[in-house]
Amino acid sequence: MEKEEILEHIIQKYNLKKKQSIDYAFFSKMYQEYESQMTDQEFAELLQISKVAYQNFKSDSKKNPNRLIIILKDRNLSDIEKQKKLLQLVQTYQLYKGQKIDYVFFTQMHETVKTWLTDIELANLFGISHTNLKSIRREGTARLFRNMKLNEESIEKIRKSIIEQNEGKEIYYKENKNRKGIVDFYKLYSPYRIYFTHNEFAMLLGISEKNLWYTMHDMANPKIKDTEKVKKVEQIKQEIVEGKYYSKEELERLCKQVNLSLDDFITYYINHGDFFDSSVYKDVIEHNQKLWIGRTKIENSDLEKYKAILEHILGTTINQIQRRYGDYHLEEELKSSMLVYIAYNCGDLIYNFQYDEKVMERMIWTRARKYAQITYIQEYKKESKQVELLDNKIASDISAEQMQRIIETEEINTEEEKLIALFKNYLQQGYDKETIIENVSKIFHIEKTDMLDMMKKYLLEHGKVVKNERGEYEIGEQ
């Protein structure tokens, strides 16, 4: 057996680590197996103990059995090999920049590389200083990869590569439970986890921290946007006065100034990045040789002219809301609100699409439907029995009245019940929902999102809230 093989065998058998301190009794125990193959001096050298150091160690140990010596102190790795070890840990433990870890988790990871890296060397790879390492040994925590940074050129290269393949695609996170979204954000993020936090990477893709949170909780599927194009559109905005026509030539000139295509102008200025089909507005520009920019009021003459179309839009939208939420008593109130909204906000759609009334109707209907859904959820749904979660069912938007009905019979035992009881107390004092969430999170020293998740989970598990056949949340029977 070659010496390197013997060394690896010893390391595995005795669970050794780099720069480990041992006494002479332990040294002798390991040496017994190999005394017929080599001298004790040769065995010491195998463990990376110099000749002089070993002789002193052997001699001193006769007088002081507790005398220690360091072994495996020269098992050094190249920078490339260290990076390979690091990436293996990143993949195995799903590590990411900004992640908080404690000493138990750190030692668990160190155990897998301890024969090649000391705890200090591993900490350095993680961007944890010697001082921070001492701190987490005393039950503190440290964040990973805080010093990991890429230069601007590398960041831009990564961003462009992702945008080229995924611009305009909806994202989901790990599991596509609601069958919406095309691209797994986590899969995109994984190769760059040590260089970006979740939020930093999301911002690179034009996704806000709030929308990423919704995505991670299976409540939204935002689209990947080109942040550079967004910046260029912001420059164009400085020269545009809304509420007027712009000729095709003027629009092309504005786009050329910032090196932006007309398609991208339509996507990011006209459509605000909501959808990426620019063809409908390109048709307008080609047909009219101009484009009305800016939402505006519909002229009285057009309200009369397109009365039948607008009434059809109102009818179909109200029916859709009623079928979705099972609420049929607010028809006239919601219809009146929608009519006012359309009259004051859809004039641009009349000006641009009146040459094709079918397209015009579809565009007004799309805008009106979105308004109706948001308005119903925010303004009217408090009167219904459903515990709908605003913006794709988020727990923070259970209404105060509904929350009070749910928790009024609770007994205080668990942490979740304490949260709900305090929530109830604030309700009884007349505080608004947002203030309650802020106050309760501070009292319990817990993040708002974590607190709301705990409450939502408790309410679902105890049958206080249930999902109906339409996937909506209602007050349960328990």
Consecutive H or E run containing 272:
none
Any idea which residue has 């939020």 for tokens?
199
Beta carbons within 8 Å of 434's beta carbon, 6+ residues apart: none
Question: 341 by DSSP, 3-state: which?
Answer: helix
- The answer, yes or no, to whether residue 412 has pLDDT greater than 50, is no
Highest mean pLDDT among 111-120, 141-150, 173-182, 393-402: 111-120
pLDDT band at 146 (very low <50, low <70, confident <90, very high): confident
Type of residue at 23 = D
Check residue 258 and give its pLDDT. 95
Q: Are 386 and 321 in contact (CB under 8 A)?
A: no
From the number of C-beta atoms within 10 Å of its C-beta (0-12, 13-18, 19+), residue 349 rates as buried
From the number of C-beta atoms within 10 Å of its C-beta (0-12, 13-18, 19+), residue 398 rates as buried
Beta carbons within 8 Å of 241's beta carbon, 6+ residues apart: none
Minimum mean pLDDT among 148-157, 260-269, 327-336: which range? 327-336
Termini Cα distance of the chain: 71
Minimum mean pLDDT among 155-164, 318-327, 374-383: which range? 374-383
pTM to 2 decimals? 0.60
Q: Can you tell me the distance from the alpha carbon of 20 to that of 346, in angstroms, rounded to the nearest whole number?
A: 75
Check residue 131 and give its pLDDT. 86
Q: Can you tell me the distance from the alpha carbon of 410 to that of 345, in angstroms, rounded to the nearest whole number?
A: 46
Q: Can you tell me the distance from the alpha carbon of 314 to that of 342, in angstroms, rounded to the nearest whole number?
A: 9
pLDDT band at 390 (very low <50, low <70, confident <90, very high): very low
Check residue 457 and give its pLDDT. 72
pLDDT band at 25 (very low <50, low <70, confident <90, very high): very high
Counting residues of the chain whose pLDDT is more than 70, the rounded percentage is: 82
Q: Are 284 and 261 in contact (CB under 8 A)?
A: no
Check residue 401 and give its pLDDT. 44
Q: Can you tell me the distance from the alpha carbon of 212 to that of 221, in angstroms, rounded to the nearest whole number?
A: 9
Question: 467 by DSSP, 3-state: which?
Answer: strand
Check residue 418 and give its pLDDT. 67
pLDDT band at 405 (very low <50, low <70, confident <90, very high): very low
Mean pLDDT over residues 79-100, rounded? 88
| Angstrom distances, CA of residue 431 to CA of 316, 382, 412, 434 | 38, 16, 21, 8
Q: Can you tell me the distance from the alpha carbon of 49 to that of 7, in angstroms, rounded to the nearest whole number?
A: 13
Q: Are 389 and 397 in contact (CB under 8 A)?
A: yes
Mean pLDDT over residues 275-295, rounded? 88
Check residue 310 and give its pLDDT. 94
- The answer, yes or no, to whether residue 399 has pLDDT greater than 70, is no
Q: Can you tell me the distance from the alpha carbon of 471 to that of 473, in angstroms, rounded to the nearest whole number?
A: 7
Check residue 404 and give its pLDDT. 43
The DSSP secondary-structure symbol of 224 reads P
Minimum mean pLDDT among 17-21, 176-180, 375-379: which range? 375-379
Q: Can you tell me the distance from the alpha carbon of 440 to that of 424, in angstroms, rounded to the nearest whole number?
A: 11
What is the DSSP annotation of 190-218?
GGGTTT--HHHHHHHTT--HHHHHHHHTT
Beta carbons within 8 Å of 459's beta carbon, 6+ residues apart: 406, 465
Mean pLDDT over residues 144-170, rounded? 90
- The answer, yes or no, to whether residue 272 has pLDDT greater than 70, is yes
pLDDT band at 335 (very low <50, low <70, confident <90, very high): confident
Tens digit of pLDDT for each residue in 193-216?
Answer: 888 888 999 999 999 988 898 888
Who wins on pLDDT, 397 or 28?
A: 28
Mean pLDDT over residues 268-281, rounded? 79
Mean pLDDT over residues 281-286, rounded? 93
Mean pLDDT over residues 436-446, rounded? 70
How many other C-beta atoms are found inside a 10 Å radius of the C-beta of residue 473? Answer: 20
Question: 468 by DSSP, 3-state: which?
Answer: coil
Strands 465-467, 290-293: pairing kind: unpaired
The phi, psi pair for 100, rounded to 5°, reads -85, 130
- The answer, yes or no, to whether residue 3 has pLDDT greater than 90, is no
Tens digit of pLDDT for each residue in 344-366?
Answer: 999 999 999 999 999 999 999 98
Q: Can you tell me the distance from the alpha carbon of 259 to that of 271, in angstroms, rounded to the nearest whole number?
A: 19
The pair of three-digit structure tokens given for residue 230, joined into one six-digit string: 């967004």
Q: Are 341 and 397 in contact (CB under 8 A)?
A: no
Check residue 332 and give its pLDDT. 78
